[in-house]
Homo-oligomer: A and B are copies of this chain.
Amino acid sequence: MGIAEIQQVVVSLFAEKGYAATGIRELGRAAGVNSATLYHYAGSKQEILTSIMRSCLEELLRSAIEAVGVSADPGVHLARLVRVHVGLCALNPLTAKVTDQEIRALRPDDHTALIGLRDDYEALFARVIEHGMSTGVFQLTDQRVARLALLEMCNGVANWYRPDGRLSVAEVQDQLVELACRLMGAPSRAGEESADLPAPIRLASEPVADHAYGAVVAG
């Protein structure tokens, strides 16, 4: 038993039932330990959630900054941002879902801090869109609406993609890059942007599979 295993159990249950609807005892039972033991690894229920969300947002921001660090056409920048975002959401769907949905569960200080991270992240998209518009590469009626629509579409991947499903992570990335280019009114970049992009990272908080947490494995 370690922090990573606890985080995985927590993410499983929070993704399924939500933060407020999941009790400490339920988390402990699913992790196979007494509820009091959880307080040996984290200060509080909130703290567990916060550390999971912070890791996810920081990795998202870090890899996105890296993705637009190279100078390139706005269309390429957009494609790289979408590929990075979809990659993380597809490889870590439950963690991404919890990170996206449970911001409202945070107390003011953590809430402010994580909202700040999210704003920084979205600003990267806004900048690329602005650049694409000023250079005539994108064709949009309203930059803000387009950005929000794009982000909702990409975030949504965490709501429906499952690693053991029909499509590979790379296939979903390809598809969403194509759809994103269409949204922006930009020419399709058929994977040409992804050459030097590092593979998405599996977060420590992401459950490895749908283990029946709480069930004792025979043997």
Q: Does A168 contact B (CB under 8 A)?
A: no
Number of copies: 2
Q: How far is the CA of A159 from the CA of B20 in the complex (A)?
A: 20
Decide: A172 near B145, CB < 8 A? Known: A104-B16, A182-B183, A182-B185.
Answer: yes
Query: Which residues of chain B are near A155, meaning CB under 8 Å?
Result: 152, 156
**Chain A residues numbered 85-102 whose CB sits less than 8 Å from any CB in chain B:** 101
Name which residue of chain B comes closest to A21, CB basis: B20
Question: Which residue, A19, A146, A182, has most C-beta atoms of chain B within 10 A?
Answer: A182
In the complex, the answer to whether A160 meets B141 with C-beta atoms within 8 Å is no
Chain A at the B interface: SS class:
helix
In the complex, the answer to whether B182 meets A104 with C-beta atoms within 8 Å is no
Q: Which of A3-11, A173-181, A208-216 contacts B (4 or more CB under 8 A)?
A: A173-181
Q: How far is the CA of A160 from the CA of B142 in the complex (A)?
A: 14
Name which residue of chain B comes closest to A145, CB basis: B175
In the complex, the answer to whether B175 meets A141 with C-beta atoms within 8 Å is yes
Q: Does A18 contact B (CB under 8 A)?
A: yes
Q: Does A167 contact B (CB under 8 A)?
A: yes
Q: Does A149 contact B (CB under 8 A)?
A: yes
Over the window 123-163 of chain A, the binary record of Cβ atoms lying under 8 Å from chain B Cβ atoms (1 yes, 0 no) is 00000000000000000011001101101110111011000
Name which residue of chain B comes closest to A144, CB basis: B166
Over the window 182-195 of chain A, the binary record of Cβ atoms lying under 8 Å from chain B Cβ atoms (1 yes, 0 no) is 11010000000000
**Chain A residues numbered 50-103 whose CB sits less than 8 Å from any CB in chain B:** 101
Query: Which residues of chain B are near A20, meaning CB under 8 Å?
Result: 17-18, 20-21
Q: 4 closest pairs, A vs B, by CB?
A: A152-B156, A20-B21, A20-B20, A153-B153
